[in-house]
Amino acid sequence: MAEYIKIKDVARYNGQEVTLKGWLYNKRSSGKLRFLLLRDGTEIIQCVVFKGSVSPEVFERATQLTQESSCIITGVVSEDKRSALGYEIQVNDLEIVQIAGEYPISKKEHGVDFLMDHRHLWLRSKKQHALIRIRHEVIRAAREFFDSRDFTLVDTPIFTPNAAEGTTTLFETDYFDQKAYLTQSGQLYGEAAAMAFGNIYCFGPTFRAEKSKTRRHLTEFWMIEPEMAYCDLDQDMDVAEAFVTHLVQSVLKNRRRELEVLERDTSKLENIRPPFPRIHYNEAVEIIKKQNPDFIDGDDFGAADETIISEQFDRPVMVHRYPAEVKAFYMKRDPENANHALAMDMLAPEGYGEIIGGSQREDDYDALLERIREHNLPEKAFAWYLDLRKYGSVPHAGFGLGIERTVAWIAGIRHVRETIPFPRTMTRLYP
Ligand code: 4AD
Ligand code: MG
């Protein structure tokens, strides 16, 4: 078979004959012309079939092609100032690989449920394509950030014997003659790894039996979690703001075209640079109460409250020292006020809410044991975790960033379900 090239590279072949392999995105016909929009996963290009310059068989094949039919096109690359790509193809030959049946997704408006039922096909459309490429860039940049700072990647298990983030959202499964739970967070293992390697990160899917049907919740989502030995809450926030800045700036640099497809207002992303505002929980409560007088001091923030706070700032805001009662058992108490935990959440602008949750961890054996008992957690399952406080305990901190919420914010789309190739929610397990 002849050599073929990717559409994204056509500029290098201006004036030359090339072969492209792809799928028919769209077609227009007028008299002796067939305008075929060919996509190959890298780009879309217009291929012009002129009856006068191809064999009758080739013209007939171009006429037959249906949406999403697979085909191989050979033709000459020529400049076309009107197209976004800047080039089109003057077709000499066309080979059909398969004629597609009537494609379920057409130009007309479809409901989200219909599109989600056809997620395996919907991924081919422009907007979904752009979103998944932005997701890829966020993940690439996230790994780059930690790799270039000498953090060691330590993969943590999916099957776990205990809860990390509260027992109400655990997915339980039979594990031979015992119970196992799908991991809610790699953090506890990350802490063990930080005591071995200093700075580590884990990255993988995490699971929560979330019974909430919101635009921010998935049951399976991807989280990247750094953990650092000899690190306090302020240093943890320093890393978090540098990290999020790197993610945003990388997408702006490497995924401009995709942001354009999504019609994202990028001016709102350009100024995402340190320092990010840092406010105490009590300060956040003051802000909320001005707009929501019913808010009860000491409560956790709801989505609406987070929006009120984030609207005050033009970049992500970090709220720290939440009431210990609304936060996880492993967080260290604030030495200034034991009712507050050394916790921090990063809230994204434009109403996207929490993208990062993190904290300084309890490093004292007795205090941690007390917390485990208070939370009615099975002591035996946490014996190894308590060991970390027996053998060379040090101050340490870390955080977790949810990939899907971060992509939703950077891409400027409302719902997290479109930021992951095959979303899992309370009501969706297919396809
Ligand atoms: O705030 P969370 O629960 O923190 C932890 O799991 C810590 N153990 C992380 C750590 O310190 N290593 O979750 C962290 C982030 C949230 O800020 C959010 O971005 C995302 O994970 N997240 C979800 N994303 C989608 N769907 C859900 N159901 C999510 N739950 C949390
Ligand atoms: Mg949280």
Q: Give the number of other CB atoms < 10 A from CB of residue 344.
A: 25
Residue 223, ligand 1, Cβ within 6 A: yes
Could you tell which of 146, 218, 221 is best to mutate to test the pocket of ligand 1, judged by most ligand atoms within 8 Å of the CB?
221
What is the enclosing helix (H) or strand (E) of 30? strand 17-30
Among all bound ligands, the one having the nearest atom to the CA of 346 is 1
Q: Kindly report the protein residue whose alpha carbon is nearest to atom 20 of ligand 1.
A: 402
Nearest-atom index, ligand 1, CA of 208: 28
Q: Exposed (0-12), middle (13-18) or buried (19+): which is 117, by Cβ within 10 Å?
A: middle
Backbone angles phi, psi at 27, to 5 degrees: -145, 145
Residue 122, ligand 1, Cβ within 6 A: no
For CATH 2.40.50.140, the residue range(s) in the chain are: 3-98
Residue 356, ligand 1, Cβ within 6 A: yes
H helix runs in 22-159, sequence order: 56-64, 112-117, 119-122, 126-147
Could you tell which of 233, 326, 405 is best to mutate to test the pocket of ligand 1, judged by most ligand atoms within 8 Å of the CB?
405
The SS3 of residue 121 is: helix
In angstroms, the CA 428 to CA 115 distance is 12
In angstroms, the CA 346 to CA 315 distance is 10
Among all bound ligands, the one having the nearest atom to the CA of 408 is 1
For CATH 3.30.930.10, the residue range(s) in the chain are: 119-419
Q: 3-98, what's its fold?
A: OB fold (Dihydrolipoamide Acetyltransferase, E2P) (2.40.50)
Tokens standing for 382? Answer: 């946490």
Q: Using only C-alpha atoms, what is the Rg of the chain?
A: 26
Nearest-atom index, ligand 1, CA of 399: 11
Q: Kindly report the protein residue whose alpha carbon is nearest to atom 29 of ligand 1.
A: 217
Among all bound ligands, the one having the nearest atom to the CA of 401 is 1
- In this structure, are residues 152 and 199 in contact, taking their beta carbons and an 8 Å threshold? yes
Placement of tokens 């999403």 in the chain: 68
Q: How far is the CA of 345 from the centre of ligand 2 (A)?
A: 7
Q: How far is the CA of 32 from the centre of ligand 2 (A)?
A: 61
Strands across the sheet containing 172-175: 159-160, 178-182, 172-175
Among all bound ligands, the one having the nearest atom to the CA of 216 is 1
User: What's the confidence (pLDDT) of residue 22?
Assistant: 98
Q: Which of 194, 259, 261 is closest to 227 using CA atoms?
A: 194
Residue 417, ligand 1, Cβ within 6 A: no
Q: Show the beta-strand stretches assigned E in 216-352.
A: 220-229, 278-280, 317-320, 333-334, 337-341, 343-348
Among all bound ligands, the one having the nearest atom to the CA of 326 is 2
User: What's the confidence (pLDDT) of residue 1?
Assistant: 42
Among all bound ligands, the one having the nearest atom to the CA of 201 is 1
Residue 21, ligand 1, Cβ within 6 A: no
In angstroms, the CA 332 to CA 395 distance is 9
Q: How far is the CA of 178 from the centre of ligand 2 (A)?
A: 29
User: What's the confidence (pLDDT) of residue 2?
Assistant: 53
Tokens standing for 228? Answer: 């650092």
In angstroms, the CA 51 to CA 90 distance is 11
In angstroms, the CA 186 to CA 191 distance is 9
Backbone angles phi, psi at 161, to 5 degrees: -90, -5
171: DSSP letter: P
- Cis amide prior to 274 (ω within 30 degrees): no
Q: Which of 303, 298, 158 is closest to 222 using CA atoms?
A: 158
Residue 423, ligand 1, Cβ within 6 A: no
Q: Which of 247, 249, 311, 321 is closest to 280 using CA atoms?
A: 321
Nearest-atom index, ligand 1, CA of 357: 1
End-to-end CA distance of the chain: 34
- In this structure, are residues 355 and 243 in contact, taking their beta carbons and an 8 Å threshold? no
In angstroms, the CA 57 to CA 420 distance is 42
In angstroms, the CA 362 to CA 106 distance is 55
Quote the CATH superfamily of domain 119-419: Bira Bifunctional Protein; Domain 2 (3.30.930.10)
In angstroms, the CA 180 to CA 45 distance is 50
Residue 358, ligand 1, Cβ within 6 A: yes
User: What's the confidence (pLDDT) of residue 164?
Assistant: 87
Residue 187, ligand 1, Cβ within 6 A: yes
Q: How far is the CA of 357 from the centre of ligand 2 (A)?
A: 4
Query: How far lies 193's CA from each of 235, 331, 376, in Å?
Result: 19, 18, 25
The SS3 of residue 282 is: helix
Residue 399, ligand 1, Cβ within 6 A: yes
Could you tell which of 135, 170, 213, 223 is best to mutate to test the pocket of ligand 1, judged by most ligand atoms within 8 Å of the CB?
223
Residue 355, ligand 1, Cβ within 6 A: yes
Per-residue pLDDT of the chain (431 residues; tens, 9 = 90+): 458 999 999 999 999 999 999 999 999 999 999 999 999 999 999 999 999 999 999 999 999 999 999 999 999 999 999 988 999 999 999 999 999 999 999 888 999 999 999 999 999 999 999 999 999 999 999 999 999 999 999 999 999 998 889 889 999 999 999 999 999 999 999 999 999 999 999 999 999 998 888 999 999 999 999 999 999 999 999 999 999 999 999 999 999 999 999 999 999 999 999 999 999 999 999 999 999 999 999 999 999 999 999 999 999 999 999 999 999 999 999 999 999 999 999 999 999 999 999 999 999 999 999 999 999 999 999 999 999 999 999 999 999 999 999 999 999 999 999 999 999 999 999 99
- In this structure, are residues 184 and 204 in contact, taking their beta carbons and an 8 Å threshold? no
Residue 208, ligand 1, Cβ within 6 A: yes
Residue 236, ligand 1, Cβ within 6 A: no
Q: How far is the CA of 406 from the centre of ligand 2 (A)?
A: 14
Query: How far lies 150's CA from each of 146, 147, 223, 274, 353, in Å?
Result: 6, 5, 19, 21, 30
